[in-house]
Amino acid sequence: MTKQLCLSVSALAVALSFGLVGVLQAQETKGPVTDEIGVVEIPEGAPIVIGGYWTLSGPDTALGLDQRRGVEVYFNQIGNELLGHPIQLVAEDGTCNAEGGQTAATRLASTTNIVAVLGPDCSSSAVPGAPILWRAGIVSVATSTTAPGLTAPDRSSEFDGFLRTVYSDADAGLHDAEYFYNELECRTLATIHDGSPYAAGLAVTAANRFRELGGEVVAEEAVTPTDVDMRPVLTGIAAKAPCVLYFPIFVATAAQITRQAPDIPGLENTKIMGGSALMAPGFLEAAGDAAVGFEFTNPDTSTEVMSERYPEFVEDYTEMFGEPPIQAFHANGYDGAQMLVEGIKKVAVQEGGTTYIGRKALRDALFATKGLEGLSGTIECNEHGQCAGFNFAVYRFTNADPETFDIGTNPEKIFPE
């Protein structure tokens, strides 16, 4: 079964479980606004309610918290006000898995007068979450869900209300493979994924591109997020003597691999590398001394490629939260909030102090976003909800102490120079 089909089937299963299969909300007229699927009416003095769901607990908390903070920085920069209304952010914990995404999206879908949703951060949460929201007429703008199928041309109509201000792993996986083959001059590759849409999709994309370049993929293994003893799978891989072992998985499992790999005979000459979920203080805490020298592929977050407004953003972030950014996708959260606010401004109609926002009109305005200058680059959406591109980089940890985490120093960017 293809990954895209898995996404569609999973989303349909969730929709069935909640009785959501059928026609979206009917045409509605409120005040001066008529919309195909509904109208949000915001009385004078009432807040504009925007939802969010990210990973806010567990070993990958930094992933979601960093994005939520990026959203909050943007709202703070515009005075936490929009069209004369205060902005109210209602955030739920998506826990970076299907169950959490389903629960969070269901809660948000039942939130009174919610206009739209930002997030999630994990593809595993988006697969069930986005269809639940869209069946309620609520558009969602994801901020680090990178699984290719989420914005693929053949994605299910259940995702017609889903966009993202982050790249697709259809692009990231190509760059990863090209780095292994061209820069590291490796000709054999092994991969490990954890079954999540993000990890599985990225590992497969990288492996396929590596083969196209002329390399050999000697092992494609899978573990579960709860696995602790990685020695059996690592021993099997060691027998194939790959030049690179690539595991684009999450903090807890990746830390186990990183700690155990040096003890496996046959992996002495294998370079182990992770993915973007590992740019977090939590990985240093979990991996300990084994994290020193560990390298991982990641979107480039250096000032050379970010917006000229990025240094100001970092200052505001640090002032608000008492520390600099703690993961890689804060700018994508910021960009999602910016895109949503601009979309609301385009479609909102005000009359007598009351603001009316058509749900379908807002969805269409977001999909029509072109040339918006975000922190991470130009935000320009296609008809499938893909709104951002990818700048490739490789980072290396220099210190195992989580207190020393500082993007650019620990980890330091080592490619491109």
The proportion of the chain whose per-residue pLDDT surpasses 70, expressed as a percent, equals 94
pLDDT exceeds cutoff 50 at 19: no
158 pLDDT tier (thresholds 50, 70, 90): very high
Q: What is the mean pLDDT of residues 210-226?
A: 97
110 pLDDT tier (thresholds 50, 70, 90): very high
Output the six-digit token pair for 323: 């520390």
Q: How is residue 298 annotated by DSSP?
A: E
Encode pLDDT of 347-388 as tens digits: 999 999 999 999 999 999 999 999 999 999 999 999 999 999
Q: Which pLDDT score is estimated for 13?
A: 41
296: left (phi > 0), else alpha (psi -120 to 50), else beta?
beta
CATH 3.40.50.2300 region(s) of the chain?
Answer: 3-166+329-386, 170-302+393-415
Residues whose CB is less than 8 angstroms from the CB of residue 304 and which lie 6 or more positions away in sequence, other chains included: none
**CA–CA separation, 269 vs 184, rounded Å?**
13
Output the six-digit token pair for 245: 């072992």
Q: Which pLDDT score is estimated for 168?
A: 97
**CA–CA separation, 191 vs 321, rounded Å?**
37
| C-alpha closest to that of 102 among 200, 17, 24, 163 | 17
pLDDT exceeds cutoff 60 at 124: yes
4 pLDDT tier (thresholds 50, 70, 90): very low
Q: Which pLDDT score is estimated for 24?
A: 61
Output the six-digit token pair for 246: 């690539």
26 pLDDT tier (thresholds 50, 70, 90): confident
- CA 91 from centre of chain: 16
Q: What is the mean pLDDT of residues 153-157?
A: 96
pLDDT exceeds cutoff 80 at 185: yes
- The 10 Å CB-count burial string (b at 16+, else e) for 30-65 is beebebbbbbbebeeeebbbbbbbbbbebbbbbbbb
Output the six-digit token pair for 46: 């009432």
How does DSSP assign 188-207, residue by residue?
A: EEEEEE-SSHHHHHHHHHHH
Encode pLDDT of 201-217 as tens digits: 999 999 999 999 999 99
Encode pLDDT of 33-78 as tens digits: 999 999 999 999 999 999 999 999 999 999 999 999 999 999 999 9
pLDDT exceeds cutoff 60 at 322: yes
CATH class of 170-302+393-415: alpha beta
271 SS3 class: strand
- Domain 3-166+329-386 superfamily per CATH: Response regulator (3.40.50.2300)
